A and B are shown apart, each in its own frame.
Chain A
Amino acid sequence: MGSTNSTLSKIPNVEELMRETGFSPAHIVRLYDRFESLDKEKTGHLRPEDFGAINRLAMNPIGDRIIGAFFSSGQDTVDFHSFVRILAHFRPAENNRPRDPSLPEPVNSRISKLKFAFQLYDLDKDGKISRAELLQVLRSMMEMQVTEEQLESIADRTIQEADLDRDDAISFEEFRKVPLGDTLTLTQQRVASK
């Protein structure tokens, strides 16, 4: 831990990053170490291939979508700041403090997390999950286990349950209403410890 400060000094704009994402210095250092271990060629950026090298992620049914979520705005590299920003979505939210409505939405609030999950479905980014997109996700999650007809009827039913304005697609508002419990957080302890 003595190297914390030295590592921190290597990262540009680290204070702003910490303020924006809410991670503690220890977390930032951990994430930086991880970033460097993924960045095999030491370019300071990550490319999709670097993510693909993580074995277990390659086996994840939605692994490619997760990787895609890191490279959001059309770029093909991710620097450390964007890396940390995206991971900041998964910090546990502090529910106790009453939120000041004038401040912008914190990056790890429940809404932001749901938005992140929504983007995994909505690949063409039109703000709605269409039936085709839902079918794609279902197909990748359930692979060989069901027939095409079953997939279609499950997709139909999902849309029927959630679609309130009957436009045959699920908007973000409708997505929010699905009761999902508190499955969206990784604890700070977990991110920091190993």
Chain B
Amino acid sequence: MDGRCTHAVLLLLCLGSCLSLTPPAQPFVRQEKASGLGSNSSKGGLSLDVPMALRVFSVDYYHVQAPFEIVLWIMLASLAKLGFHWSGRLPAVVPESCLLIMVGLLVGGVIYGVRHSAPPTLSADAFFLFLLPPIVLDAGYFLPGKLFFENLGTILWYAVLGTLWNVLGIGVCLYGVCLLASGSLGDVSLLHCLLFSSLIAAVDPVAVLSVFQEIHVNEQLHILVFGESLLNDAVTVVLYKLFESFLRLPVVTGVDVLLGGCRVLGVGLGGLGVGLFFGLVAALTSRFTSRAQVIAPLFVFLYSYLSYLTSEMLHLSGIMAIVTCAVTMKQYVEANLSERSNTSIQYFLKMWSSVSETLIFIFLGVSTIQDVHMWSWAFVCSTLLLCLLWRATGVILLTAVVNKVRRNVVTFRDQFIIAYGGLRGAICFSLVFLIDDFPKKRLFITTTIVVILFTVFVQGMTIKPLVELLEVKRRKRNLPTVSEEIHSRLLDHLLAGIEDVVGYWGQHYWKDKFEQFNQRYLCRFLIREERQARSSIVRVYQELERRDERADEEHITHVDVRCQTRPHLLEEMDSIRRILTRNLHSFNNKLEVVTKVALSNIHHMFADVNILQKQIPAYSRHTLHGTPAAEGRKPLRRHQSLGGKHSPWSQEVPDLSHYSETYPTPRNRRRPIKTTRRSRGLQGQTPQPRTFMLGRNNSLDPLEPSCPDPQKLSYALDNKT
């Protein structure tokens, strides 16, 4: 492990130095070409100044500079992530965000050392327009809808009132500190303090996500903190812009403050509306994608991004728009699109958000290395303290009120985690750069950096031990069962019925009403004809069946003893089609891989037969050949691969008898069925040409395939640590 660690660090340092050695951006030389036609201007690589010597080899860096550097940064981020996961015990102790910031610090230091000037900082535009949307989209798409809406009241309560409380409290107290230390901080006015507090008080969804993902608290707690971090964007945006515009106004009147209050509502609801609109349009578009399935996932991303950009354009809350868009379109899109497309969507979302998050944290580290830091002990320390203090008091007070109306009480332990889990992140960082310049701006930047580093490092690292120490209720890891789904549904109906008897229009009444509206109008309009009406019970049931099929294969390949001791059972089963395949990548061609084809009555047998793919035709951009349907809606973790232990490809049972003639029968048939070490055997070896073979037989007459089945290949290529 140590060797790998050192390799990783060395590699990162190399990359860092590459980045530092790239010359600072120069105006494109090509511009001259346009202006100076016919003149002897240098055209980048092939320099026409020296007409005699024709260069064989030349380096034209400026031509590719921008994309090259972007790719280098992304590569650095991804390699850092890889290195992190290979580094043994470190992931258990230090959250990933901390390590990434440290890598950023390292790289920033290297760049600074080489270039003697400040390394590139994270521009606010790049952050808000390119890095933030994928993360928020990913969060919105995988948001547990039911839980979110059940707790919506509480979440809004925390988000709106909590943020207001924090902002006002921290702002006023900071102003008090500035007055007290008027020697050094005298020129910081109240509005400046309020502006600063409006950006520092907000909990950051990126940081919260990345830390909470690793501590596995119970879902309710998770959704409370996370929902709050998403929804407080509306309040933060408005307050920030409000105070900024107040700073520019000569005089601030009461009317302005009132207008500001209305704006909060407008921004939030506006973002919601924009998101809803684009979500419904996306759902409608997805209805018609059956003939061009390959680009269907693209619509999801395009529409979500459009909703974000539109609301940013209108100065509404972009985060709320994109989350609403994702939540709205999810159920219709998933019903309309094929399994493959759904898998692509999920996979790409995870990938992009992962890269984005890594980049953000690395840039946070890099940007810390600045030329000029203005430091003030009073300001920085008081900010830190006030942040913690006001958050704690805010949470306690708000919870005391909200517990009176809630069913599931927010316990004191939960409150502690909510208060402690209020991490600040890159949003504050970008916002602080956007402030209009004034003498103490550098101080604000430094303070923001310190607060972010403190919350991410100290709070991020200690929250996991605290969760275990306080014995906060953890997430149950049960698989959903059909019984649970049925009984929940029955109880929903029951409670709705009782509410009708009592005459109260409660939560269940509205839920029921919405469900009816959904079924009657929306689904009919937005979902394709043949995909209508898949009850949630049926969906859970189908997903569980799929999981069972995969689980049964797992058993077979991992336990070869069972196979060897029961050959008679295999022979008895006429319905099992068994193919023995050969693994051509083994050194002596002796390893065999058992593959199976899935059948209907899975639970009666422990051996399934898998069908390998037919020979993959030539590359075609318009269709996705070969891989059959992917899995259903298993929750994805950011760091795991799609499908975790199981391969994403499930099986189909096509009619393949006509393929058996094309391929020769194997020489040795009754070989004992050995297993391969999946990951070891296939990794690192170039895949053979895809001549998959199939066979279908009712007895144990195996045909000879010549390639490992794709399931194993994809499993091997998955990110398994």
Contact = CB atoms under 8 A, between A and B. Distances in A.
A90 B498 contact: yes
Contact of B492 (A57, A90, A183): A183
A90 B494 CA distance: 11
A185 B407 contact: yes
A180 B484 CA distance: 6
Given A117-B487, A137-B490, A158-B483, A145 B504 contact: no
Interface stretch (B420-428, B532-540, B590-598, B697-705): B532-540
Interface string A127-156: 000000000011001101110001001100
A8 interface: no
A60 interface: yes
A51 interface: yes
A125 B405 CA distance: 36
Interface string A100-138: 000000000000000001001100000000000000011
Interface in B480-531: 481-484, 486-506, 509, 512
Contacts of A193: 504
B621 interface: no
A97 interface: no
Contacts of B538: 142, 145-146, 150, 154
A154 B493 contact: no
A74 B272 CA distance: 52
Contact of A60 (B486, B496, B504): B496
B713 to A, nearest CB: 32
B493 A56 contact: no
B544 A179 contact: no
B148 to A, nearest CB: 15
Interface in A154-179: 154, 157-158, 160-162, 175, 178-179
Contacts of A175: 487
Nearest to B496: A60
Contacts of A146: 535, 538
A160 to B, nearest CB: 8
Contact of B502 (A31, A62, A141): A31
Given A62-B490, A117-B487, A153-B541, A187 B405 contact: yes
B566 interface: no
A181 B488 CA distance: 9
Interface residues of A, number: 49
Contacts of B490: 62, 117, 120-121, 137, 141
A141 B493 contact: yes
A178 B483 contact: yes
A121 B534 CA distance: 23
B497 A62 contact: yes
B504 A194 contact: yes
B217 to A, nearest CB: 16
Nearest to B516: A59
Contacts of A56: 496, 500, 509, 512
B658 interface: no
B488 A54 contact: no
A142 B534 CA distance: 10
B408 interface: yes
A176 to B, nearest CB: 11
A14 interface: no
B571 to A, nearest CB: 27
Interface residues of B, number: 41
A187 B409 CA distance: 12
A111 to B, nearest CB: 15
A190 B153 CA distance: 15
A179 to B, nearest CB: 6
B503 A183 contact: no
B58 interface: no
B501 A66 contact: yes
B680 to A, nearest CB: 36
A142 B506 contact: no
B492 A158 contact: no
Contacts of B501: 34, 51, 54, 57, 66, 87
A186 interface: yes
Given A92-B407, A154-B541, A179-B478, A34 B502 contact: yes
Contact of B498 (A144, A153, A183, A186): A186
B605 to A, nearest CB: 15
Nearest to A63: B497
Contacts of A189: 404-405
A184 interface: yes
Interface in B634-654: none
A193 B481 CA distance: 36
Contacts of A162: 483
B476 interface: yes
B495 A34 contact: no
B407 A187 contact: yes
Contacts of A138: 486, 537
Contacts of A24: none
Contact of B535 (A117, A142, A182, A187): A142
A191 interface: yes
Contacts of B478: 179
Contacts of A137: 486, 490
Contact of B497 (A57, A142, A150, A180): A57
- Give me the 5 closest cross-chain CB pairs, A-B, nearest first: A66-B497, A145-B533, A57-B500, A56-B500, A60-B497
Given A153-B541, A158-B486, 6 more contacts: A37-B503, A56-B500, A60-B496, A66-B501, A141-B489, A158-B482
10 contacts: A56-B500, A61-B493, A62-B490, A62-B493, A90-B495, A92-B407, A145-B534, A154-B538, A183-B488, A183-B491
Interface of A: 31, 34, 37, 51, 54, 56-57, 60-63, 66, 87, 90, 92, 117, 120-121, 137-138, 141-142, 144-146, 150, 153-154, 157-158, 160-162, 175, 178-187, 189-191, 193-194
